[in-house]
Amino acid sequence: MSHANNDLRYTRSHEWVIQISDGTVEVGITEHAQDLLGDMVYVDLPEVGDSLTVGKECAVVESVKAASDIFAPISGEVSEINEVLSETPEILNQDAQGEGWLFRMVPNDAAELESLLDADAYQALIASDAG
Amino acid sequence: MLIFERSQPGRHNGAQFQPGDGDVSDIPAVLLREGSLGLPEVSEMQAVRHYTQLSQKNFSIDTHFYPLGSCTMKYNPRACNTLAMLPAFLGRHPLAPASTGQAFLSCMYELQEILKEITGMHTVSLAPLAGAQGEFAGIAMIRAYHQAQGDDQRTEILVPDAAHGTNPATAVMCGYSVKEIPTDAEGDVDVEALRQAVGPQTAGLMLTNPSTLGVFERQMQEIATVLHQAGGLLYYDGANLNAILGKVKPGDMGFDVIHMNLHKTFSTPHGGGGPGAGPVGVSERLAPFIPVPMVTEHYGEYRLLSEVDLPGTIGHLSANMGNVGVLLRAYVYARMLGREGMHRVADFATLNANYLMVRLREESFELAYPTRRATHEFIVTLKKLKDETGITAMDVAKRLLDKGYHAPTTYFPLLVPECLLIEPTETESKEELDGFVTAMKEIYDEAYSDADMIKGAPYSTPVRRLDEVKAARELDLVWQAPDD
């Protein structure tokens, strides 16, 4: 099931995050980002146990148009990756904000989530990009 | 259909190839092939028809308008082919001594000199085999220069976000990390961001001017000053040299290194990915590092310079002189144009682009940078069309094939959503440009009246719309005989 826009936090580089019930943080790319990128061809994910630094490249998604870096939205350690994406990257197009999640991570400091954009701020960002 | 699939056992072409007596008694049995060679067996006429029909399926500059932005798909004059294929050029062995190749070497030397004059650089080497290799050579020279200065802390190459993807790839190949410099709303490099980004870690900036956004950098002098004051070097990506040929010299703009794409600006054939030629030019301080071989002249005698003459060189980029056939064609092209001709190339390349841009705007197409004049190319954004009809830039590109036009570059640069990068080149007539506008207008109207039809395009090509995802994921390049 897809996450509702209002439940998510966003980065300026079009990743979304949400803290799920076990305390880990799920990370994906936004519906807007998948629409811009078009049909996905490959997804290159980090490995479980990788230590991520906020703002650093941690994954790559490649579509028929372009290969795009994914940046860690917060710092922490990768606890799980969405392995079905390696065989069926089209899930990213079908459900970017749900089944198409990229990886889950244990945050170093959950307070970092608060510094990310909320849904209104993200909508404003993509509206100004389109302008 | 592949020629292998036309093969019938025993069919051959006796007029062209007489089977020998097959005496292989002097080859040890252990080295002999057990099965057949596996080559197709067809008659002469079958072979001729097969390749003629393949060539007729080709969509090329010889048959159609080809406004592929950033690729400079202009007419390749037949005279360049004819002269580059003179027997003495074709028959020359790459390792033949200079004493038997003076005429050939004089052509290469003069090409070096012409390119120096056009770019305003101190030294030019013809060695790189393609634009990407020219970039590699350029950044390798920047690296060699800093190392020679004992300046090992410069670990970063700056690249504007509008750049060709080869720029950051080249920097990484040469061991640098890459920092992206943003572009402002009117398409210029954000000089304030550049000022913030430079420092003692800056090795250089790779800049394309005019940029891939189809505009000239208006703050070129400021950019050069910022870079040089920080101790960085300025790299000119020559992809768009066609717009300024004979008009402005990158050397005068403050560039330290430049690569040129002769297969673009100097009109050598470059369909199918090659062969190319990517000569590099450098300012005086980088000259010691230039790739070899170089051609030099001394009292009318030409010879090649090697590592012995240029101990600081970054080295060879191929076994010999580079793609000599391409270099010769470019030389003939440059000599045919002359100084005035090169001015005309830039004049008409930019005039054609600006004419086409204005005509398309009149037909309701939205320009990505409406306040700017076009260079030799410009960008149309179809975001509004996609929002209103669901028709994307890719759909329009496919439909153009049905109308007899090669599609412009789609989805590059990445900064502009649903973009078409359109480069008509100077070799197209006004009638051809008007025909393209008419086709674009028809597609625009079809998007509103019959979007589903466009989604199915193309209809008239040898193969219909390809499954790009499948093509990328299940790469299938090798034919296997059914028996294997």
How many contacts does A have with B, using Cβ atoms within 8 A? 23
**B481 pLDDT tier (thresholds 50, 70, 90):** confident
What per-residue confidence (pLDDT) applies to B12? 82
- Closest-CA residue of chain B to A130: B417
Residue B272: pLDDT band (50, 70, 90) is: low
Residues in Cβ contact with A130 at an 8 Å cutoff, skipping those fewer than 6 apart? B383, B417
CATH node for A5-116: 2.40.50.100
Distance CA B69, CA B213 (A): 10
A66–chain B nearest CA distance, Å: 8
Tokens of B345: 């190339």
- pLDDT for the residue B457: 96
CA distance B402 to B423: 19
Contact B473 A39 (CB under 8 A): no
Q: Which of A64, A68, A91 to mutate to test the interface with B (most CBs of B within 10 A)?
A: A64
* Residue A71 in tokens: 């940046």
State the average pLDDT over residues B148-176.
96
CA atoms within 13 A on the CB side of A8: 26
What ipTM did this prediction achieve?
0.79
Average pLDDT, chain A: 92
Cβ neighbours around B44 below 10 Å, total? 13
Query: Is B414 an interface residue toward A (CB < 8 Å)?
Result: yes
For B292-319, what is each residue's pLDDT tens digit?
999 999 999 999 999 999 999 999 999 9
- State mean pLDDT over B461-475: 89
- Which of B32 and B441 is assigned the larger pLDDT? B441
pLDDT the model gives residue B60 = 87
Is B469 close to A64, i.e. CB distance below 8 A? yes
Mean pLDDT of A82-107: 95
Strands of the sheet with B257-260, listed across from one edge:
B123-125, B280-282, B257-260, B233-238, B202-208, B156-160, B177-181
Tokens of B138: 């350029």
Q: What is the mean pLDDT of residues B5-12?
A: 88
Nearest to B149 by CA among B223, B200, B197, B196: B200
Domain span(s) for CATH 3.40.640.10 in chain B: 79-337
Pairing of strands A103-107, A57-63: unpaired
- Report the Cα–Cα distance between both ends of chain A, in Å, rounded: 31
What is the reported pTM? Answer: 0.90
Mutate which of A65, A88, A128 to test chain B, going by most B C-beta atoms within 10 A? A65
CB-CB neighbors (< 8 A) of B468 in chain A:
39, 41, 64
Instruction: Pick the more confident residue, A129 or B188.
Output: B188
Closest partner residue to A41 (CB to CB) among B383, B414, B469 is: B469
Top residue of B411, B415, B416, B470 to mutate, by most chain A CBs within 10 Å, is B411
3-state secondary structure chain B: CCHHHHCCCCCCCCCCCCCCCCCCCCCCHHHCCCCCCCCCCCCHHHHHHHHHHHHHHCCCCCCCECCECCCCCCCCCHHHHHHHCCHHHHCCCCCCCHHHCHHHHHHHHHHHHHHHHHHCCCEEECCCCCHHHHHHHHHHHHHHHHHHCCCCCCCEEEEECCCCCHHHHHHHHCCCEEEEECECCCCCECHHHHHHHCCCCEEEEEEECCCCCCCCCCCHHHHHHHHHHCCCEEEEEECCHHHCCCCCCCCCCCCCEEEECHHHHCCCCCHHHCCCCCCEEECHHHHHHCCECEEEEECCEEEEECCCCCCCCCCECCCCCCCHHHHHHHHHHHHHHHHHHHHHHHHHHHHHHHHHHHHHHHCCCEECCCCCCCCCCEEEECHHHHHHHCCCHHHHHHHHHHCCECCCEECCCCCCCCEEEECCCCCCCHHHHHHHHHHHHHHHHHHHHCHHHHHCCCCCCCCCCCCHHHHHHCCCCCCCCCCC
Smallest CA–CA distance from A40 into chain B, residue: B469
What pLDDT band is residue B273 in, cutting at 50, 70 and 90? low
Query: Do the Cβ atoms of A41 and B414 come within 8 Å?
Result: no
The domain locations on chain A are 5-116
User: Residues 6 or more apart from B89 whose CB is under 8 A from it?
Assistant: B104, B324, B325, B328
In this prediction, residue B274 carries a pLDDT of: 64
Q: Which pLDDT belongs to residue A131?
A: 41
Mean pLDDT of B210-216: 95
Cβ-Cβ contacts under 8 Å, B473 against chain A: 41-42
Whether A36 contacts chain B with CB within 8 A: yes
User: What is the domain class of B79-337 according to CATH?
Assistant: alpha beta
The CATH code of the domain at B345-471 is 3.90.1150.10
Residue in B with minimal Cα distance to A42: B473
Q: Closest to B473 (Cβ–Cβ): which among A41, A65, A130?
A: A41
B472 at the A interface (CB within 8 A)?
A: yes
CB-based contact B473 A64, cutoff 8 Å: no
Q: Kindly list the residues from chain B whose CB atom is less than 8 angstroms away from the CB atom of residue A130.
A: 383, 417
Cβ neighbors of A87 (< 8 A, separation 6 or more) are: none
pLDDT exceeds 90 at position A29:
yes
| pLDDT exceeds cutoff 90 at B102 | yes
Task: Specify the domain boundaries for CATH 3.90.1150.10 within chain B.
Answer: 345-471
Interface residue B474 vs chain A (CB under 8 A): no
Work out the average pLDDT over B224-241.
97
Residue B484 or residue B190, greater confidence: B190
Q: Is B417 close to A39, i.e. CB distance below 8 A? A: no
Asked whether the beta carbons of B417 and B384 are under 8 A apart, the reply is no
Window 348-407 of B, Cβ < 8 Å to A: 383, 394
- Closest CB from B383, B411, B473 relative to A65: B411
Query: How confident is the prediction for chain B on average, in pLDDT?
Result: 94
Residue A72 has pLDDT above 90, yes or no: yes
| pLDDT tens sequence across B311-360 | 999 999 999 988 999 999 999 999 999 999 999 999 999 999 999 999 99
Say if residue B474's pLDDT is above 90: no
Tell whether A39 is within 8 A of chain B (Cβ): yes
Chain B residue with the nearest C-alpha to that of A88? B473
DSSP A56-104: SEEEEEEESS-EEEEE-SS-EEEEEE-THHHH-THHHHH-TTTTT--EE
Question: Which residues in chain A are contacts of B469 at CB distance < 8 A?
Answer: 39-41, 64, 90
